Amino acid sequence: MRKIIALCVLFLILSPLTFAEEEVVLDVDAGFTLSDSENDTVENVSTNEKKSELTLYEKIQNIKHLEIEDTNQIHYLLDDITTLKPQHGFVESIHPFFGYRGNLSVNIQSDDTDVTKDFSMLDAGIDGKFRGSETYYEARLRMAPQHNYSFLQFLPSNMYIANKSIPHHTILVGNSRTPTGVEGGMSAMLHPFVARSQISRTIGNVRKVGVRVKGDYPLIEYDLGGYSSDVCFKSFFPGAEFTGWANLKPLGKTKGKYGSLKIGGGISAGRNNTNYFISGAYVGYEYKKFFADFEWSNANGYNSTVDTTTKHASGFYTTAGYKVTPKLHALIRYDQFNPDNKISHNTKREYSAGLNYFIKGQSLRLMLNYVFCQNDKTKDSHRILIGTQILL
């Protein structure tokens, strides 16, 4: 345990030279578990109630011996210790949390080598449940400013209230990550690579204020919402946006005998100074130790954290992975993207290989990635990324 703590401290010391939004951010539940721990807020409350009778020493001992094999869900390492349960008032539980995800990146070109250290995620906040209801809340702040936003504009992350009173449904009001693609709508905490795919980090990976309805049945799941097209509180309601995604689950009633299969698609359309329309499609499959997915996206203009533009961009990625052990996962990915289809010879390709080592599930994870970047407009390059994730 001392070695683990020392390693985490080392990564924390190595990180803060530059800051960036999650260029590095699918929940296989991508976009359909409430992103950035929204779903875990809902599911972990009952678990915390069962553990509330333990002493502080017993809780610490449980953490030391904790083994988390489910890497498709988010677990906070200290939630059993930090969760508060007031005896009176309208709040039933208060769970403070902290999330860190950083990396050391070595970028190698034929005539140059560049080393950078990034925070892709540095979050803190509270979540919990309101007393006597199926209503939950989250208030999350991100301390990772971007150059094109002020610190206060980029500070608010998830700020929402969610209700699960209707069976199979969640109604969410507030600022949350929109399902602009599966991987784009996924929490950074569950992403298997240090960096998101190019379509996800350019077109997707954005939060907006609105109302959304999420449904989850054995054979289908969907996420439909209406939003303000504003990004990061730069203006008040510059236009409206609709974003929706649905997945079919043909094997949903086979109880996992043949694995898990999702086939889906969605659109995002609206106006923010200019009209934009994004469409996408997705296929994902997981069987025992093997998992793979494919996602395609086409944008006639897009409205994201990176930019609001009329450019026609398109791309796709495909990933395959294997769980060597419950703690060690190996994966590969091919990623292709054209940021402007009106420009010839403008394609960017990334060939990635990676390893994930889950010390304590997603609560404490180490990542090693190699990426070969092949660009039509610039020199080819090689990147080595060493990342860590700590959820407390």
The span from the CA of 267 to the CA of 297, in Å, is: 9
The span from the CA of 106 to the CA of 118, in Å, is: 11
Question: And the tokens for 50?
Answer: 């069962």
CA nearest neighbour of 138 among 40, 279, 246:
40
Instruction: Residue 58: give the domain boundaries.
Output: 2-391
Tell me the per-residue pLDDT of 299-346, one tens digit each, with 9 for 90 and over. Answer: 999 998 877 888 999 999 999 999 999 999 999 999 999 999 998 889
3-state secondary structure of 28: coil
Q: How far is CA 391 from the centre of its chain?
A: 13
Does the pLDDT value for residue 60 go beyond 90?
A: no
The span from the CA of 24 to the CA of 34, in Å, is: 20
Q: Backbone phi, then psi, for 9, in 5-degree steps?
A: -60, -40
Q: How many CA atoms lie within 13 A of 383 on its CB side?
A: 25
Tell me the per-residue pLDDT of 255-294, one tens digit each, with 9 for 90 and over. Answer: 999 999 999 999 999 999 899 999 999 999 999 999 999 9
- Environment class of 304 (CB within 10 Å of its CB; exposed 0-12, middle 13-18, buried 19+): buried
The span from the CA of 295 to the CA of 133, in Å, is: 37
3-state secondary structure of 272: strand
User: What per-residue confidence (pLDDT) applies to 304?
Assistant: 86
What does pTM read for this prediction?
Answer: 0.84
Torsion over CA of 343, 347, 348 and 351, rounded to 10 degrees?
180
Neighbouring CB atoms inside 10 A of 2's CB total 6
Tell me the per-residue pLDDT of 171-199, one tens digit each, with 9 for 90 and over. Answer: 999 999 999 999 999 998 999 999 999 99
Lowest mean pLDDT among 59-63, 75-79, 245-249, 383-387: 59-63
On average, the pLDDT of the chain sits at: 85
Handedness of CA 319, 304, 163, 391 (dihedral sign): positive
Question: What distance, in Å, lies between the first and last C-alpha atoms of the chain?
Answer: 16
Looking at residue 233, which CATH number applies to its domain? 2.40.160.10
User: What per-residue confidence (pLDDT) applies to 117?
Assistant: 67
Tell me the per-residue pLDDT of 9-31, one tens digit each, with 9 for 90 and over. Answer: 343 333 333 323 333 222 333 34
Q: How many domains does the chain have?
A: 1
Average pLDDT over residues 83-92: 93
Distances (CA, A) of 323 to 27, 67, 137, 166, 357: 17, 16, 34, 36, 10
| The residue to which tokens 């946006």 are assigned | 241
Neighbouring CB atoms inside 10 A of 193's CB total 25
Tell me the per-residue pLDDT of 200-232, one tens digit each, with 9 for 90 and over. Answer: 999 998 999 999 999 999 999 999 999 999 998
Tell me the per-residue pLDDT of 114-164, one tens digit each, with 9 for 90 and over. Answer: 777 676 778 999 999 999 999 999 999 998 777 777 878 888 999 999 999
